[in-house]
Amino acid sequence: MKKIIHLIAAARPNFMKIAPLYHALNKADWCEAHIIHTGQHYDANMSDSIFADLMLPEPHFHLGIGSGSHAHQIGNVMMAYEKIVLETERPDFLVVVGDVNPTAACSQVATKLHIPVAHLEAGLRSGDRRMPEEINRLVTDAICDTLWTPSPDADENLRREGHPESRIVRVGNIMMDSFELLRDKIDAEKAPEKHGLDLGNYGVVTLHRPSNVDEYDTLKSLMDNLVEVSKKIPLIFAVHPRTKHSLEKHGLWDDIQSLESLKLVEPVSYIPFMSLVKSAKIIITDSGGIQEETTYLNIPCLTLRENTERPITITQGTNKLVTIDDLMENVTLVLDGKWRTGTKPDLWDGKTAGRVTQEIKKWLMV
């Protein structure tokens, strides 16, 4: 009888992390991989179209949790997933990814029911417990049976927290697998041309973190700076629903929407987004995964955050933490050709899903 493996997907980065693993497991004759979509991202451009891009089937189970407070999401995911496990399908193995609320929630359900759980992308730490994602990482790593890490710094974080070596397995960065899986489609997409952008002469902007977009003063200052940057290089801004809501709420949407040099677009699915990223001269963001993708592609990345859970993108890659006040200064360095050249971290090679599949096979002894 084939082993049943559940893959938890909640938000856009999760979809990209489970896709290569789903396809790798789907080729195996000893297991069936089933996707559990918790429904944290329910906007079609942030969910359905990305599933299509990644050649994923309809989720086998859809919890439909939606938005809400952290307690609301975690509690409802736990109840909904527990019901599936107890009443419909008990998996032989569970894989959770990333650092969203359902990652911590489903880990707890499975652990309490004595189902083996692996955390893919374990060991990442920002050191900032004000970020709910940091709490999710700590909780998840504390209870998972095996911890699959993307980089040496993640290994060290886990060792420092007292995790035994037997639980720590560096498998590499599965985000790169998604890019390589779809590289031909990304190359064929030609998204910059569709938006009237010159290859290698534009910037991509993504912003969604509450610290950047919720409060008027910060958001206004950030938009003013982006307008100034756009006078030096055209920008395309994929506007997250949270950011759009805040821009409209604070009366800023109409002003920036009218600018030709700062092009606003709705959230972009994976293939067209990576088509934009791979030909950009600069990325301005507060997201997590794109820090890794730009390091992989050797593209300058300015991250508007106080810290990052992906420090290897700074020490080895092309990423740098910046503030609103020094954003223009760093943009100028990029435009003047003074940005450093990064290198790819070890095992960021597009083959992580294969290594993970072998780890699951060893765990289940099949």
List active site positions. 208
How far is residue 296's CA from residue 333's CA, in Å, rounded to a whole number?
20
> Do 336 and 289 touch, CB atoms closer than 8 A?
no
Burial class (CB in 10 A: 0-12, 13-18, 19+), 278: buried
From edge to edge, which strands make up the β-sheet containing 203-206?
Answer: 262-265, 235-238, 203-206, 282-285, 301-303, 319-321
How far is residue 267's CA from residue 45's CA, in Å, rounded to a whole number?
6
Torsion, CA 105, CA 107, CA 110, CA 115, rounded to 10: 170
The CA-to-CA distance between both ends of the chain, in Å, stands at 11
The residues, ordered by sequence, that sit 6+ positions from 132 with a Cβ below 8 Å of its Cβ are 70, 101
How far is residue 312's CA from residue 290's CA, in Å, rounded to a whole number?
13
Query: Largest alpha-carbon pair distance within the chain?
Result: 62
Buried b (16+ CB within 10 A) or exposed e, 96-122: bbbbbbbbbbbbbbbbeeebbbbbbbb
Sign (positive/negative) of CA torsion 54, 1, 38, 107? negative
